[in-house]
Amino acid sequence: MTATALILWLGPDGTDAVTMKGLYFQQNSPGEEISFVFQERLLSEMKLEKEFFPVGREIAGVVLEVGNKVSFFHPDDEVVGILPLDSEESGLCEIVRIHEHYLVHKPEKVTWTEAAGVIRDGIRSYTALHFLSHVSPGKSVLIMDGASAFGTIAIQLAYHRGAKVISTAYSLEDKQYLERLRPAIGVKQPLVVRVIDVSNGKDDVTESCLEETGGIGVDIILDAGVRLYSKNDEPALNLQLLPHKHDIITLLGVGGHWITTEENLQLDPPDSHCLFLKGATVSFLNDEVWNLSNVQQGRYLCILKDVMEKLSTGVFRPLLDEPVPPYDAKVSMEIVQKNQARKKQVIQF
C-alpha cells in the first residue's frame, strides 16, 4: 500500500500545532484480527500507543516547509521516498514529517501514482538483481510470479541489464500478461523468453528451465516464496503452486545465485551439500537493510534516483491499479491484507 501525500519537515516554531489524520492498523493481542482506523493528532503528539501501527510507508508529494538544516530540498519541490521502519507517522496522511535523507526528487514526467507505486518494488528489484546476484548481459534469470507488481519491475530491470528472463505464472491470465510484455510500444521482442504456467499442473518448472538453458541450469533465481514441505503437507492451495526448495536447488546452475523472499527458509544438510558442490549462494531479500546503517545512505539514495530515472524513461512500466481516494483506504487495506490485490494499490489525496 502506497500513498501520494504532502510532505512536511518540521520547521520554525509553531509547526508542531499542525493536525495530522492518518490511517493506522490496530492489533490488541497476537492472533487477533487486524483492524484499520483513522487517527487524528498533532505533530507534537506523534508518540503512538503500542497497539497502533502506521500504514503506507511509500510516499510522494510536494514539500510544504523545510527545517533550517535542510540542504537538498526547498518548498514546492516534488519528492518521493519511503518512510523508515521506526517512523511513527502514517504515510496515508495529507501531511507527513520526514528526514531529507529518505527522499529524492520526482522527475517531471513521472506521475504521483507511478512514483509512489514503483519506489518500493524498484528498491527490491535493485537489491535482488544488482547487489545480491550481480545480473549482467547473457545471464539467465528465473523470476517467480512475474505477473505481480514486484515481478513486473524485476523482469523489466533484468531485461534492461541484458539478461535472458524466464518467469512463472499462477494463472492463464498471468501467462497471457507476461507473454504480452514488451520493452517498448511497437517492439516485437518479448521481455520474457519463456513463461511457465504452474496453475494447470502440466508444466514442470525444473524441466522447463533445464530445457531452456540447455541443461546447465539458471544463473539467478528470484523466488516469490517456496514450499518447505511436500504438497500433501501444505494446507493452502496458493502454497501448493510454489516450487519446492529441492526443485530450486536442482535447477540452479553452477555458481548460481538464489535470492529468496522466504524468511523462514530451512535447508537440510543434503541441500547445503548440493549448493556447496555447485558453488552456489543463497541470499535473503530484505530491502529494509539499506536504512539499518548510515554507511549505506549514499548508495540507497542513488538507487532511489535511478529507479525514478528508469520510470521517467520508460524502462519501468508498473502494474498499478486506479488511484484510491482516502475514504476507501480502509477497504483497500483490507484487500491488501488478504492478499487479494494483484496490482499495486495507491491512495491519492
Question: What is the structure's pLDDT at 14?
Answer: 40
Grid coordinates 508542531 are at which residue?
16
Helix (H, G, I), strand (E, B) or coil at 52: strand
Tens of pLDDT along 181-229?
Answer: 998 766 788 999 999 999 887 888 999 999 999 999 999 999 998 988 7
Q: What would the mean pLDDT of 106-124 be, rounded to a whole number?
A: 94
**Binning pLDDT at 50, 70 and 90, where does residue 278 land?**
very high
**Binning pLDDT at 50, 70 and 90, where does residue 42 land?**
low
Range in 40-49, 219-228, 269-278 the model is least confident about: 40-49
Measured distance CA(94)–CA(20) in Å, rounded: 7
8 Å CB contact between 244 and 227:
yes
8 Å CB contact between 76 and 277:
no
Amino acid, res. 187: V
Domain 4-116+293-348's class?
A: alpha beta
Tens of pLDDT along 57-93?
Answer: 899 999 988 888 888 999 999 999 999 888 877 788 8
321 alpha-carbon distance from chain centroid: 15
Is the model's pLDDT at 231 over the cut of 80?
A: no
8 Å CB contact between 241 and 170:
yes
Is the model's pLDDT at 153 over the cut of 90?
A: yes
Question: What is the structure's pLDDT at 11?
Answer: 42
CATH 3.40.50.720, applies to 137-284: yes
- Phi first, then psi: give them for residue 39, nearest 5 degrees: -120, 135
Question: Where do the structural domains in the chain lie, given as residue ranges?
Answer: 4-116+293-348, 137-284
Is the model's pLDDT at 157 over the cut of 90?
A: yes
Measured distance CA(95)–CA(19) in Å, rounded: 9
**Binning pLDDT at 50, 70 and 90, where does residue 291 land?**
confident
Is the model's pLDDT at 234 over the cut of 70?
A: no
Amino acid, res. 303: I
Measured distance CA(238)–CA(336) in Å, rounded: 16
Range in 25-29, 226-230, 282-286, 293-297 the model is least confident about: 25-29
DSSP 215-252: TS-EEEEE-S--BSS-GGG--SHHHHTSPBHHHHHHHE
Of all residues in the chain, the percent with pLDDT exceeding 90 is 53
Question: What angle is formed at CA 325 by the lines to CA 319 and CA 328, rounded to 5 degrees?
Answer: 95
Q: What would the mean pLDDT of 268-283 be, rounded to a whole number?
A: 96
Range in 29-43, 86-100, 216-230 the model is least confident about: 29-43
Measured distance CA(82)–CA(123) in Å, rounded: 10
> What pTM value is reported for the model?
0.86
Question: What is the structure's pLDDT at 39?
Answer: 64
Question: What is the structure's pLDDT at 117?
Answer: 92
Does residue 53 or residue 155 have the better pLDDT?
155
Q: What would the mean pLDDT of 307-312 be, rounded to a whole number?
A: 96
Could you give the residue ranges of the DSSP H alpha helices within 127-189? 149-160, 172-180
Is the model's pLDDT at 232 over the cut of 70?
A: no
Is the model's pLDDT at 13 over the cut of 50?
A: no
Is the model's pLDDT at 24 over the cut of 70?
A: no
- Phi first, then psi: give them for residue 44, nearest 5 degrees: -75, -5
> What mean pLDDT is reported for the chain?
84
Closest CA to 261 of 224, 216, 298: 224
Tens of pLDDT along 240-256?
Answer: 678 899 999 999 999 99
Does residue 160 or residue 242 have the better pLDDT?
160
DSSP 287-349: GGGGGS-GGGHHHHHHHHHHHHHHHHHTS----BPPPB-GGGHHHHHHHHHTT---SBPEEE-
- What is the chain's Cα-based Rg? 21
Helix (H, G, I), strand (E, B) or coil at 123: helix
